[in-house]
Amino acid sequence: MLLVLDIGNTNIAIGVFGDDSDGKQGDLIGHWRFSSLGRTGDEAGLLLENLLNSHGFDKSLIDGAILCSVVPRMEEVWRDAVSRYIGIHSLVVAHDIQFGMKVDIDHPEEVGADRLANAVAASEKFGYPLISVDLGTAINLDVVSAEGAYIGGAIAPGLAVSMETLFSRTAKLPQVALRAPARVIGRNTINAVQSGIIYGYAGLVDALVEGMFAELGAHVPVIATGGHAEILAAHSRTITNIEPWLTLDGLRIIYGRCAG
């Protein structure tokens, strides 16, 4: 079995892939999402052990691990946890490992490992060119060219970050649920905030995607992932597919390419 970890600024997604009949990584047979902040190596290790045990996974059958991280301090914590509590070393995704995709941008060392994993997974499933859109703490749009190279993208603040900023700086605005109101014209404060966040961010994504279409010279598949993918995709005119665990699948593919 393969253990995969996607360590973000707010959350960590953990997955386990089973083995297929050929001994290669098969389906995603377990997946979880937790807060990624404020854990020690022991806390992370015990969490991993408890997750595996509670779902009937024997940790001795895990023979590979891979992680991507945008938080250097937490990367070390989870690498240590996997090493000491699972007993294996983790492959860490970076631009300079040989994972089968050219990184053709000005400063390859700056690109987030999760963005590379998304690009790899989307390309494997949908071909290229394409655009992947990760709707999490930040909104990452990443482009794979017709030649199969990662060529960059765009980054914007995520929905939750924008809502937290709005509420912290405007005393009279109430906290609201992150869902779309029935109308764009909100007839009360709650609906007005929901409209601005949901429809506004759907418009932001569409505007960026359409600008990328123009630069690519074609309309291409747009694959959405992340915690807010379903919310925004329902109101986007450019998102074509939703893949909730795209990053984890990208980690599986990269591990297979590097370990094979």
On the question of a common fold for 2-92 and 127-247, the answer reads yes
- Contacts of 235 by beta carbon, 8 Å cutoff, 6+ apart: 180, 198, 199, 202
What kind of fold does domain 2-92 have according to CATH?
Nucleotidyltransferase; domain 5 (3.30.420)
pLDDT tens digits for 145-191?
Answer: 999 999 999 999 988 888 777 777 776 667 788 889 999 999 998 99
Placement of tokens 């993208």 in the chain: 153
For the residues 230-245, what does the mean pLDDT come to?
95
Is the predicted pLDDT of residue 75 greater than 60, yes or no? yes
> What's the whole-model pTM score?
0.90
Question: How do the domains of the chain map onto residue ranges?
Answer: 2-92, 127-247
pLDDT for the residue numbered 72: 86
Beta pairing partners, 68: 6
Residue 148 Ramachandran class (φ > 0 left, ψ -120 to 50 alpha, else beta)? left
The class (CATH top level) of 127-247 is: alpha beta
Question: Which positions are annotated as active-site residues?
Answer: 114
For the residues 82-93, what does the mean pLDDT come to?
94
- Exposed, middle or buried: residue 206 (CB in 10 Å: 0-12, 13-18, 19+)? middle
pLDDT tens digits for 143-155?
Answer: 999 999 999 999 9
- Band the pLDDT of 35: cuts 50, 70, 90: confident
Cβ count within 10 A of residue 86: 18
For the residues 80-101, what does the mean pLDDT come to?
93
